[in-house]
Amino acid sequence: MTWSEMWSLLEPECWNTAYMVGWSTLIAVAGGLPLGILLVVSERGGLLQNVVVNKVLGQVVNITRSMPFIILMVALTSLTRWITGTSIGRDAAIVPLAIGAIPFFARLVETAVREVDGGLVEAVQSMGGNTLTIVRKVLVPEALPSLIASATTTLVALIGYSAMAGTVGAGGLGDLAVRYGYQRFETGLMWVIVAILAVVISLIQFGGDYAARALHHRGARSGPAPKLRLLKAKEPAAADVTEVA
Amino acid sequence: MNAPVPGHTHARALDSDGIPVITTSGLTKVYRSRGREVTALDGVDLHVREGEVYGVIGQSGAGKSSLIRCVNLLERPTSGTVTVAGQDLTALAGHGPRAGRELRQARSRIGMVFQHFNLLSSRTVQDNVELPLEILGKSGKERSRKALELLDLVGLADKAKAHPAQLSGGQKQRVGIARALAGDPKVLLSDEATSALDPETTRSILQLLRDLNRQLGLTVLLITHEMDVVKSICDSAALMERGRIVESGTVSELLATPGSELASALFPVGGEATGTDRTVLDVTFHGEAATQPVISQLSRTYNIDISILGAAIDTVGGLQIGRMRIELPGRYEDNVVPVGFLREQGLQIDVVEHEGQEPVLVKEGAK
């Protein structure tokens, strides 16, 4: 198989993967963020303590997460058909991808939000802030670096899941690797796909880490974003610089 | 209620019948966890008068934190009432853990500063100060005007665009104070505001609180475990032990109370009798008497030799106060007349009964 033959196969599948993963990540973030926050605030001693809601949501999340993705995809066929009008193709694949990723992201959000210092919540309560204010002005902004890292993890996991979307005829790079690389012994193509995935995932991870770090160190350094460690020796910690004053 | 009067005279003018701004009565807080009950507050009656700095001191675990959190109902008291600026907050609390609109509005009129500052790291200094104003629904222009004004007041006008991570501990607490003042509160609650700071920074933060108390007529209720804090800025103080207030009053009332633990902790005087045939007296000066040469008068009038075993003179809440432990020759029975003379001079005299027993307050690990 020549490079140009490979490319004509690869290009549309790259877009398929990007399309499925992109949309399902957006939906997972939009759905998982409120779900994760709800898991934190509804727990015992939380801002909106509601043990029943907490237990039910926790169970739903656990069950969804414990299901292998390929089974979830099949189990959700009728829901997918109801939402998209079809159970095959890339639009149809977005539904199970998103539904599988929502609880995954929600658990990561839960951990990130739980890390926020309770003193900050108390401070805003003492100013007369309500629960919505606390969520919007404290929990989300303070957890933002972790939330970005969580979204990155979710995006990478979804690229993995999307390899199975081929089972419902959605195409994508993973499907291409299985059909050509495995079933037709086109080992060359398979390695090219592996290389593409490795590069893409590295770039996503790098970008996510960079953004999370930039937000995390906000104010701790002089510039708007951290300098890359690769390019410059590590700067002294902020404490050393400012505490003397 | 009365508006704060500019240049309002504080400390000295205060007496027991000032206007109460914070009143708690029969405040009780019981924590229940896994069938165990812990009583953090056991019927606390607190009266903080308008324009004073009131310090509650006690060991950790004495219930100070629960007390200050019950004042703005961050914690719901199990029973009892809290009244702030004439408003019964406990009546606004409603059921369940969530704060209703009325309670939230009442809270916005009570400022609070914290031991660990509790500034949002995601926001600049100015945005932190603006946060309470956002909650109050003020416009952007009004918020930034007010925030800059407050930052100027606490001496951090040049740090408006900095992030909290770039500030030192003392600067962070100044931001915390500016933020607490954003809603124009009549009352400021300070939860161990200086406990995470070094001694020098502590002094400057206390000075700031004192200045704000004077300039704005702000009533300050603070809790602390450091006697120095009470000594340097409080007009009144209360000592807490095991969920109860065991002593309270203005500093001069406390000093006038024989055997007051707080008074002797504020003015520790040591020194033991040099022999068995001696009378040891603790003499407390305050107000006018502090400026009179009473000891030399005593010596001349009765022709007796007086040894000074220990002495402390200091300014507490703007009052000059001193304590001295003196020794007179002869037993107490022989010294009734000189003691009477001292009492006539308006001094408070406590006879130290047992030799070597030092007045100890805030006993370590009191149980």
pTM of the model: 0.79
* Same domain flag for B202 and B288: no
- Over the stretch B48-73, which tens digit does the pLDDT of each residue have? 999 999 999 998 888 899 999 999 89
What's the domain count of chain B?
2
- pLDDT at residue B91 in the model: 86
Tell which residue, B236, B345, B341, has the closest CA to residue B291: B345
Give mean pLDDT, residues A72-76.
90
* Same domain flag for B31 and B88: yes
* Same domain flag for B77 and B214: yes
- Helix, coil or strand: residue B183: coil
Locate all alpha helices (DSSP H) within B121-260, ordered by sequence. Answer: 125-135, 140-153, 169-181, 199-216, 227-233, 251-255
Identify whether B73 is part of a domain: yes
Share of residues in chain A with pLDDT > 90 (%): 59
Identify whether B218 is part of a domain: yes
- B321 neighbors B237 (Cβ within 8 angstroms): no
- pLDDT at residue B97 in the model: 66
Identify whether B132 is part of a domain: no
* Same domain flag for B70 and B197: yes
Query: Measured between CB atoms, does B135 come within 8 Å of chain A?
Result: yes
- pLDDT at residue B255 in the model: 76
- Could you say which of A49, A122, A142 has the minimum Cβ distance to residue B74? A122
- Residue ranges making up the domain that contains B322: 269-351
- CA distances, A122 to each of A136, B11, B69, B366 (Å): 14, 31, 10, 30
Q: Which residues contact B307 (CB under 8 A, 6 or more apart)?
A: B274, B326, B327
* Cβ contact B114–A123 (<8 Å): yes
- Separation in Å, CA of B81 to nearest CA in chain A: 18
* Same domain flag for B190 and B47: yes
Identify whether B158 is part of a domain: no
Identify whether B124 is part of a domain: no
* Same domain flag for B220 and B275: no
Query: Measured between CB atoms, does B76 come within 8 Å of chain A?
Result: no
Domain boundaries, chain A: 3-242
Q: How many CB atoms lie within 10 A of CB B95?
A: 7
- Whether A183 shows a pLDDT value over 50: the answer reads yes
- Could you say which of B110, B114, B168 has the minimum Cβ distance to residue A243? B168
* Same domain flag for B196 and B342: no
- pLDDT at residue B317 in the model: 59
- pLDDT at residue B342 in the model: 85
* Same domain flag for B275 and B250: no
* Same domain flag for B20 and B83: yes
* Same domain flag for B105 and B228: yes
| CATH superfamily entry for domain A3-242 | MetI-like (1.10.3720.10)
* Same domain flag for B198 and B92: yes
- Could you say which of B97, B163, B169 has the minimum Cβ distance to residue A219? B163
Amino acid at the residue B249 = G
Q: Which residues contact B201 (CB under 8 A, 6 or more apart)?
A: B168, B169, B170, B173, B194
Tell which residue, B23, B21, B17, has the closest CA to residue B50: B21
Query: Measured between CB atoms, does B279 come within 8 Å of chain A?
Result: no
Q: How many CB atoms lie within 10 A of CB B330?
A: 12
Look at A108-117, A140-149, B225-234 and tell me which has the smallest mean pLDDT. B225-234
CA distance A243 to A240: 6
* Cβ contact B132–A128 (<8 Å): yes
The CATH code of the domain that includes B230 is 3.40.50.300
φ, ψ at A20 (rounded to 5°)? -65, -50
The CATH code of the domain that includes B308 is 3.30.70.260
Q: How many CB atoms lie within 10 A of CB B13?
A: 11
ipTM: 0.79
CA distance B25 to B286: 31
Terminal C-alpha separation, chain A? 67
Give the tokens for residue A38.
């709800």
* Same domain flag for B280 and B337: yes
- pLDDT at residue A238 in the model: 41
Query: Measured between CB atoms, does A187 come within 8 Å of chain B?
Result: no
Tell which residue, B133, B302, B84, has the closest CA to residue B92: B84
Give the tokens for residue A123.
């401070």
pLDDT < 50: residue spans in chain B: 1-16, 355-367
- Over the stretch A30-73, which tens digit does the pLDDT of each residue have? 999 999 999 999 998 888 889 999 999 999 999 999 999 989 99
Query: Measured between CB atoms, does A138 come within 8 Å of chain B?
Result: yes
- CA distances, B198 to each of A9, B155, B187, B226 (Å): 68, 19, 26, 12
Counting Cα atoms < 13 Å in the Cβ hemisphere of A141 gives 18
